[in-house]
Amino acid sequence: MVKLGSVENPLRVAIVGAGPSGFYAISHFLKQKELHVELDLFDRLPTPYGLVRAGVAPDHQKDKWVTRAYAKSAAQPNVRFFGNVEYGKHIHMADLQAHYHQVIFTNGAPTDRDLGIAGENLAGSYSATDFVAWYNGHPDYADYQFDLSQERVAIVGVGNVAVDVARILCKSMEQLQGTDIADHALQALQHSRVKQVYLLGRRGPAQAAFTPPEIKALGELAEADIAISADDARVDALSQAAMDAHPDKNVEKNVGFITEYSQRPQRIKNKQLTLRFLVSPTEILGEAGKVTAIKLMHNEIYDAGDNLIRARATGVEEVLPVGVVFRSVGYQGVPLDGIPFDARSSTISHQQGRVVTAEGQPLPGLYTAGWIKRGPTGVIGTNKTCAQETVACMVEDLQAGVHFNPAEPGVAAIEALIESRQPRFVTYADWLKIDEAEIARGEAQRRPRVKFVNVDEMLDIAGR
Ligand code: NAP
């Protein structure tokens, strides 16, 4: 029997999800010079790069440069892309077991968390991640409508997604025009009447989830003043003690920016962005089915033990009139057919990236990396170390002889199967045609690209 992982008998790996963690899994495999591996990358969209394309804000083009490294991986002869192919619809676990030695799920966290309060379903109450997908031209969200005719908007949560949404709402047309924001979003934002944006944190400035460059940028907006009251900016004694005991540069920088903003003098710009802390939404209020206000409970900080600082209600309530609410309290993973799922963390059950049963038994051949492994946290680069841990386990298991024994490991067999299930699958060469066409459309308008937001249109360009 020829050794698995040799030229004659390459290891065949399926990667489900073509976002950063999928590409980092590929690059870690490509570094294993002794190993002969064939890597097939699947994505339900015709386009690769996951949230780098559909999540990273359009005015953060430099963050998208990581795709240059991903493109180099994708160009390797032993890497193939099967776009427009969905796990659970076009391919199933039995198919992957029949064609691959190992399967790694890197499909991210495609939905978001609810607040679980009354009024959440009123018109004008939106998910921030839907808004992000919409302005980034994700095809599933292209037809969404967001009411930007309202002057006052509340964003619940103070993570980087909330900051992205606030920035997009506050930036000028001139600033957005030069980005790859979706055309439909650019048109809608052109008519935006938004003037007052509130960012609402349930804990204090020292617990804000945004990172220093993001909060810094909010203080540099050409069209919007940032406003924070001295009360909101104050770090309570408990948080200060925690900061002294466990110094954290990011926390210190965040608090520094917040303090500075609270001391800024007059407000003169067209728009105002107000940062509030120690408030939790308890209800979204409406009239005739439409958001009119958000009810807030004032909080205080308390020590929840184990170095945890939490917020609890003081009993003081406030009604903040707003016409739109974005909830921005985190992405969420969803279960995949046939894969053990931890409902508490909304992640695949795993140990170091090896998929395990509810009882902790490893399921040979199955792995995970990225947000569906560890939850929706960290920046793009966090997925690199995350994928590295998983790929190390995959290599270790290969050496121990732990893997699927596929009946049809040949390249042609899986291609024939996909052709039969989804004739309009997209190869990497096809994606390059879409990419080229988007960039060409962008050149005419001095933009990095003008995205196609319709799958059929993309497939036509790709010649599929
Ligand atoms: P996040 O960083 O987890 O922030 C979620 C925010 O929602 C926190 O402020 C959290 O407060 C709050 N929250 C949670 N449940 C709440 C509730 N029931 N009521 C009120 N507030 C609640 O999530 P995210 O902003 O969606 O970002 C996801 C990940 O992507 C993060 O790692 C982020 O850094 C990353 N990202 C990075 C960038 C960038 O680098 N520019 C851009 C976008 C996203 P608590 O802290 O009190 O729980």
Angle between helices 382-399 and 20-30 (to 10 degrees): 50
Pocket of ligand 1 (CB under 6 A): 115, 156-162, 164, 201-203, 207, 209, 211, 214, 280, 328-331, 376-379
Instruction: Quote the percentage of the chain above a pLDDT of 70.
Output: 100
Ligand 1 mutation pick, 132, 202, 297, max ligand atoms within 8 A of CB: 202
Judged against a pLDDT cut of 80, whether residue 348 lies above it is answered with yes
pLDDT at 1: 73
Class level of CATH domain 11-110+333-426: alpha beta
C-alpha distances in angstroms, 219 versus 176, 196, 264, 429, 455? 17, 15, 10, 42, 38
Cβ–Cβ < 8 Å for 54, 137:
yes
What architecture is domain 115-330?
3-Layer(bba) Sandwich (3.50)
Question: What are the residue boundaries of the structural domains of the chain, listed by start?
Answer: 11-110+333-426, 115-330
Q: In which band, very low, low, confident or very high, does the pLDDT at 116 lie, cut at 50, 70 and 90?
A: very high
Measure 279 CA to ligand 1 centroid, in angstroms: 15
Between CA 432 and CA 135 the distance in angstroms is: 22
Measure 208 CA to ligand 1 centroid, in angstroms: 9
Measure 169 CA to ligand 1 centroid, in angstroms: 18
Q: In which band, very low, low, confident or very high, does the pLDDT at 307 lie, cut at 50, 70 and 90?
A: confident
Question: Closest residue (by CA) to atom 31 of ligand 1?
Answer: 377
pLDDT of 154-183, one tens digit each?
A: 999 999 999 999 999 999 999 999 999 999
C-alpha distances in angstroms, 288 versus 86, 126, 206, 292, 295? 39, 17, 39, 10, 17
The three-state secondary structure class of 181 is: coil
Q: How far does CA 233 lie from the centroid of its chain?
A: 28
- Which of 105, 104, 107, 127 minimizes the C-alpha distance to 115? 127
pLDDT of 236-272, one tens digit each?
A: 999 999 999 999 999 999 999 999 999 998 778 999 9
Cβ–Cβ < 8 Å for 268, 226:
no
Instruction: Quote the percentage of the chain above a pLDDT of 90.
Output: 97
**In residues, how long is the chain?**
464
Mean pLDDT of 415-420: 97
Domains 11-110+333-426 and 115-330 are alike in CATH topology: no
pLDDT at 297: 98
| Rg, Å, the chain Cα set | 24
- Which of 96, 201, 187 minimizes the C-alpha distance to 134? 187
pLDDT at 254: 98
Measure 32 CA to ligand 1 centroid, in angstroms: 35
Question: Closest residue (by CA) to atom 19 of ligand 1?
Answer: 280
Cβ–Cβ < 8 Å for 43, 422:
no
Q: What is the pTM (predicted TM-score) of this model?
A: 0.97
pLDDT at 265: 84
Question: Closest residue (by CA) to atom 38 of ligand 1?
Answer: 160
Q: In which band, very low, low, confident or very high, does the pLDDT at 464 lie, cut at 50, 70 and 90?
A: confident
Residues 331-364 as b or e (16 or more Cβ within 10 Å = b): bbbeebeebbbeeeebbbbbeebbbbeeeeebbb
Q: In which band, very low, low, confident or very high, does the pLDDT at 133 lie, cut at 50, 70 and 90?
A: very high
pLDDT at 213: 97
